[in-house]
A and B are shown apart, each in its own frame.
Chain A
């Protein structure tokens, strides 16, 4: 199962000439020098292949035990997603396993929802309870009245279960609360989505333009590695950010833009690129549709027009546009990831996509590569029943171009309404802490109180588990098999996650939970594999590997014979209606939206109020890691960044606890003020994921403030339903903290 070497075996191998560099690379640590000095044998070191679950990047790694005890996690040298180096979250991932405040046993609610009063139950009892309720809902309302909120690798087994049961109402907040506008905007423009990890060729670029992306505080692994290489190479970084982020501090140009005006800057850049003929004429002529419409549409979006809107000088707008033109096609207007900001997000991201098109960077070296991805056959299962109805049918006129079901849409559909045939009656919530990740929880709560069944599957007693009828403790990624990691990148890779430890307490893998539930529901034919070993071995053998091989190597690279770059004059058909890059979008036009982005003005804060901005810290993944006993030692609470002049006006000292009140009178938990020159006067900033209200997580309970609680105003994207979250304004409650 594991690669285990004791000291004697190590010496034997060393004597065969395999020691030194080969073994010294990262994995084996058989000599404890203190022990050796005293004449003791070294500790026994075992390593197990996994891939990280702390964020979606899913770096392949080795979990290492010393004398059978948990020790450390190191990146897998052969994984191009990490190059043997994990980020702080991944390195601290062992804390997820060690956390003694995890969910330990199945729980069944005993008092009204939200009181967090539960009794412990056996797995059999808990699953029987769920199965009975699911049968009831199927009988009374139809199986389509059941929804799944899913985040994380194990969610796939619950999707399988829900589809087998008869519902397609599956959602993930990663769409409408995060990257949705990006994927749709790039799809409308190039006929392809960006995907994860993104196909940005930072490794080879000469100019990287970041629109609010704070790479470095945002630790998506090889993206940061390539960003650091770019710094070393002396490449141009242009950072557009109201805050002097770490990335801004590394940039040649920092554009401290007025928040909510990024689209004006992007349109002005497009104007300059066209007016000064900095665009790639051959590329546009051959591959693009709608250049003349675009040119006419942006004619008036001059840098002088953008200046009073953005506060960025015309000079700087032209200078930075020329830098991009000079670097083209080795230039990236970074598409971002969390882009649901102001409700016109699809159009804003599309403006960046159009800029990339003009500069000829899509499909070109130093721009965006065509990602490679291994096709891995699925384990065969019977065809799912066709649901009588899905969320799409409940909302025939809204968000015509949404490509996934909206998480907040399913929350809304749970609130009973006479206009609707089916209100959602049952929820599975897998790894999604809804109160802290989907805005307007008080509204969602109306729906929750109407549910006949809410099952939360999680590793931690997160806030949503407090509202559940049944709480199922999943074991962490270090205690389970999961489906394969099949990542896109410059070469195709497949990675294995195998259990490092036995599940603690009574926790179980999601794959096991879903299959056992399927049995109780008579749906076992949809889970035909004997166990995960058999499931994984089946899939791996289809691609010329095996579970046995993958346990030794952890990650496997595959050949790829398609080019990563092209578009240098050869014929190419894009996956759009016109077969070309759509500078003017036929799909948007057909649905009644602007085919070329137009600037939309957004509300500004009233006197004494400041726009609430939020972002990430490098050692945390939102609220999912803020109780991790290792990572909490690096950052245990968030701070609110306040411009030094503003703080002076309010008499706020650096390090002082204050509270924030938003435009709707919602008051935050107390939060430490970070008084700094590094942010504009008209906004404040905090790291998302703090201010937990679940008392069962003692390290994070009421530590810092929860931005999501203050996001009561949502600016919904009419194109795809993204929840714009940066239209909220806060003022300071200095005395009350």
Chain B
């Protein structure tokens, strides 16, 4: 079984939002809703400043709080990939998962079900990278299997300093940020 993860280099990311646009067109997300987004954080005071830019999305947590709260089993971990997914036809739109997610990664699709990032599993199964990773002009995003020690993702996590978002939530996110 694979353990897919995304590793994003904040040093290279310029926050252009191409990942957001590529996701929108690839997955045809409805107007005004996004599966991924850009976060920017400025630290310090003029002129001693740092800026961190992150492309964020569902963290596909190892310990996803959105799954146990789902009353219908729509929110689930995919056996093949360890990715957190939603069966659209099982989802009743109760929003329990939205309340449970510490990352605000989910939204209710106008068609009534909860939607979010799938790591473009439809592309991954064809041997492609997720749309956001494939389009990134800065090549700051890496997608790979952490069970495979030779993957870019595994190697980068060994060689670079990294962090995850809100580690204290205990969710064990699988989206890592190189810092």
A interacts with B: yes
Instruction: Check: A225 CB closer than 8 A to any chain B CB.
Output: yes
Instruction: Check: B12 CB closer than 8 A to any chain A CB.
Output: yes
Q: Which of B21-29, B93-101, B167-175 contacts A (4 or more CB under 8 A)?
A: B21-29
Number of interface residues of B (CB under 8 A): 41
Determine how close the nearest CB of chain B comes to the CB of A64; give it in whole angstroms: 9
Taking CB atoms, residues of chain A closer than 8 Å to B14 are 215-217, 224, 227-228, 246-247, 250, 618
Tell whether, in the assembled complex, residue B51 and residue A24 are in contact, meaning their CB atoms are under 8 Å apart.
no
Question: How far apart are the CA atoms of A72 and B23 in the complex, in Å?
Answer: 10
Instruction: Check: B34 CB closer than 8 A to any chain A CB.
Output: yes
Taking CB atoms, residues of chain A closer than 8 Å to B161 are none
Task: Scan residues 598-645 of chain A and give those whose CB is less than 8 A from a CB of chain B.
Answer: 618-619, 629-631, 633-635, 643-644
Most interface-central of B17, B46, B137 (chain A CB within 10 A): B137
Tell whether, in the assembled complex, residue B122 and residue A31 are in contact, meaning their CB atoms are under 8 Å apart.
yes
Instruction: Check: A591 CB closer than 8 A to any chain B CB.
Output: no
Instruction: Check: A483 CB closer than 8 A to any chain B CB.
Output: no
Question: How far apart are the CA atoms of A678 and B40 in the complex, in Å?
Answer: 12
> What is the interface of chain A mostly: helix, strand, loop, or mixed?
mixed
1/0 contact string of B45-62 vs chain A (CB within 8 Å): 111011101000000000
Instruction: Check: B134 CB closer than 8 A to any chain A CB.
Output: yes
Taking CB atoms, residues of chain A closer than 8 Å to B139 are 225, 228-229
Taking CB atoms, residues of chain A closer than 8 Å to B126 are 24, 29, 31
Question: How far apart are the CA atoms of A221 and B136 in the complex, in Å?
Answer: 10
Taking CB atoms, residues of chain B closer than 8 Å to A228 are 12, 14, 137-140
Q: A85-B135, A88-B21, A633-B34 are in contact. Are A678 and B16 (CB under 8 A)?
A: no
1/0 contact string of B32-46 vs chain A (CB within 8 Å): 101000000010111
Determine how close the nearest CB of chain B comes to the CB of A202; give it in whole angstroms: 13
Tell whether, in the assembled complex, residue B138 and residue A224 are in contact, meaning their CB atoms are under 8 Å apart.
yes
Question: How far apart are the CA atoms of A634 and B34 in the complex, in Å?
Answer: 9
Question: How far apart are the CA atoms of A29 and B121 in the complex, in Å?
Answer: 13
Task: Scan residues 120-153 of chain B and give those whose CB is less than 8 A from a CB of chain A.
Answer: 121-123, 125-128, 134-140
Question: How far apart are the CA atoms of A219 and B21 in the complex, in Å?
Answer: 14
Determine how close the nearest CB of chain B comes to the CB of A137; give it in whole angstroms: 44
Task: Scan residues 190-235 of chain A and give those whose CB is less than 8 A from a CB of chain B.
Answer: 215-217, 219, 221, 224-225, 227-229, 231-232
Taking CB atoms, residues of chain A closer than 8 Å to B9 are 232
Task: Scan residues 682-736 of chain A and give those whose CB is less than 8 A from a CB of chain B.
Answer: none
Q: A20-B127, A633-B31 are in contact. Are A94 and B46 (CB under 8 A)?
A: no
Chain A residue with Cβ nearest B16: A618
Taking CB atoms, residues of chain A closer than 8 Å to B22 are 72, 91
Determine how close the nearest CB of chain B comes to the CB of A435; give it in whole angstroms: 27
Tell whether, in the assembled complex, residue A26 and residue B21 are in contact, meaning their CB atoms are under 8 Å apart.
no
Taking CB atoms, residues of chain A closer than 8 Å to B25 are 71-73, 91-92, 94, 630
Q: 13 extra interchain contacts, Cβ-Cβ under 8 A, other than A33-B125, A244-B51? A: A21-B127, A85-B135, A88-B17, A91-B22, A92-B21, A215-B14, A224-B138, A231-B11, A244-B46, A256-B46, A635-B17, A678-B49, A678-B51
* 16 pairs of residues in contact across A and B, judged by CB atoms under 8 Å: A24-B126, A24-B127, A86-B137, A216-B138, A217-B14, A225-B138, A228-B140, A229-B139, A247-B14, A249-B49, A249-B50, A256-B46, A629-B31, A676-B42, A678-B51, A680-B46
A contacts, CB < 8 Å to B:
20-21, 24, 26, 29, 31-34, 71-75, 84-88, 91-92, 94, 215-217, 219, 221, 224-225, 227-229, 231-232, 244, 246-247, 249-250, 254, 256, 618-619, 629-631, 633-635, 643-644, 676-680
B contacts, CB < 8 Å to A:
9, 11-12, 14-18, 20-22, 24-26, 28, 31-32, 34, 42, 44-47, 49-51, 53, 121-123, 125-128, 134-140
